[in-house]
Structure 1
Amino acid sequence: MLGENHALMFEFPEYKDKIHELKMADEVFGAKVDEYHDLDHKIRGLESGNVPTDDATFRSLKMRRAQLKDEIYSQLTQ
């Protein structure tokens, strides 16, 4: 679905507090969360604003977001 919000609080609502705690305690985790948020915002903007971008760039942004989501989830479930 175009423009769908993939914010971590919607993706992992059961880990909302843990995300906040880890973000405050672990700089590397915090940087991943910030990068994920920035990418999600950028992707939604491209989808909803009909901003011209090539498929390779768009796919690359979405792949990076998925990679970050996997890394964040892995840390949350350790």
Structure 2
Amino acid sequence: MTLEKHDLVHEFPESRDAIHELKMNNNHFSRLFDQYHDKDHEVHRIEAGVENTSDEYLEVRKKERLKLKDELYKMIKDHEGQ
């Protein structure tokens, strides 16, 4: 089973510069980015079999990751539109 990368740069490679700029200059974005990164690593560890949890727990974490990604994406697009 091949595990996909879900870090923001892989998800939005065309927005690499905006992501970097927002991480450096926007505290709210930076906090959400860190939360997303932590959530993504947790999901990856579970999917890789490093951690064992229930399917329900994994699904909740994936939904939390998706919510964070949606919020970060909106911030990236708003920034790029300036």
TM-score > 0.5, shorter chain as reference: yes
Q: Per-residue CA shift, 1:40-67, capped at 9, x if unaligned? A: 1111111112532112211110001000
Matches within 5 A, 1:1-78: 3-49=3-49, 51-78=51-78
- Name the Cα RMSD after superposition: 1.4
Q: 1:2 to 1:55 in 2, by over 3 A?
A: farther
TM-score by length of 1: 0.90
Give per-residue Cα distances to partners, 1:14-42, cap 9 Å, x unaligned.
11111110111111100111111111111
- Give, in whole Å, the separation in 2 of the partners of 1:43 and 1:71: 18
CA distance in 2, matches of 1:68, 1:57: 17
Instruction: Show structure 2 runs of 5+ residues with no match.
Output: none
Q: Please, which runs of 5 or more residues in structure 1 have no aligned partner?
A: none
Secondary structure, in 3 states, of the residue corresponding to 1:49?
coil
Using the size of structure 2 for normalisation, the TM-score is 0.86
What letter matches 2:32 in structure 1?
Answer: K
Contact 1:9/1:16, CA 8 A, preserved across alignment = yes
Hey, what's the Cα distance between the residues in 1 that align with 2:22 and 2:73?
12
Cα distance 1:50–1:24, how it changes in 2: closer, same or farther (>3 A)? closer
